[in-house]
Structure 1
Amino acid sequence: MAQHNETGKQGELEATRYLREKGYEIVAQNFRHQHAEIDIIAQKEKLLIFAEVKTRTNLSYGNPEEFVSYTKAKLVMKAAEQYIFANGWMHDIRFDIIAVTVAGTDLRVKHIEDAFS
């Protein structure tokens, strides 16, 4: 597997660990609908979050969260709409970005709530 794929997997593992520590239940990972993928769907009480995880090992070109494009956000929202419809979710939702930075042994997780508003 390519190094960037390994880095992405590591970031998603850290993001799920982080969310669990914050009291979220991981409902689904890598949910796909047409051309869209949602990295993590998590629930805390009556709140469902759709999280896009971005992981970087080098900040020379910017922070991880800066790499979530408008197009990607729209795709995530479309997939979330399908998930909500398919599962009959009738409570609050939120779109978050979880930015993971890995530099050697230093690992940082930044949780940006309500990132697509």
Structure 2
Amino acid sequence: MANHLKSGKYGENLAVDFLKNAGFDILAVNWRFKYWEVDIVAMEENILVFVEVKSRKSDLYGVPSDFVDNKKQQNLIQAAEAYIELNKYVGEIRFDIVSVYLETKKVELIKDAFWSN
């Protein structure tokens, strides 16, 4: 496995542990449908949360969450719509971003990072 893939997987594992410790119930990791993927699907109380994880060694080139651009947001929204339809979910949803700093193992959660239309 390439180093960037190992780093990404390690970052996702740190994010899952962080979310579990924060009281989230993890429903899926790397959930895929067609061309789309959601890094983590979770429940926080009664809210279905779609989480994008961004890992970086440091913030030298910007904080990890800055790398979730509009195109990535739109892809996450499409994946979320598919997940909701396939699972017949009715209720509140939210899009969060988890930033992982690999060198320090620091994890930051941004709730309601963006919204769908």
What band does the TM-score fall into relative to the shorter chain? Answer: over 0.9
Residue identity opposite 1:2 in structure 2: A
Q: What is the TM-score normalised by the length of structure 2? A: 0.94
Give the distance between the partners of 1:72 and 1:32, measured in 2 at CA: 14
Q: Which residue of 1 aligns with 2:22?
A: 22
Q: What is the TM-score normalised by the length of structure 1? A: 0.94
| Per-residue Cα deviation, 1:58-87 (whole angstroms, up to 9, x for no partner) | 322111001111001000000100100111
Q: Which residue of 2 aligns with 1:82?
A: 82
Shift of 1:23: 0.9
Give the distance between the partners of 1:16 and 1:58, measured in 2 at CA: 19
Query: How many aligned residue pairs are there?
Result: 115
Shift of 1:44: 2.1
Runs of 4+ in 1 over 6 A off after TM superposition: none
Give the distance between the partners of 2:88 and 2:46, measured in 1 at CA: 13
Secondary structure of the 2:16 match is: helix
Q: Which residue of 1 aligns with 2:107?
A: 109
Gaps of 5+ in 2: none
Q: Which residue of 2 aligns with 1:11?
A: 11
Give the distance between the partners of 1:63 and 1:3, measured in 2 at CA: 20
Gaps of 5+ in 1: none
Shift of 1:45: 2.5
Residue identity opposite 1:61 in structure 2: Y
Secondary structure of the 1:111 match is: strand
Question: How much identity, in percent, do the aligned residues show?
Answer: 42
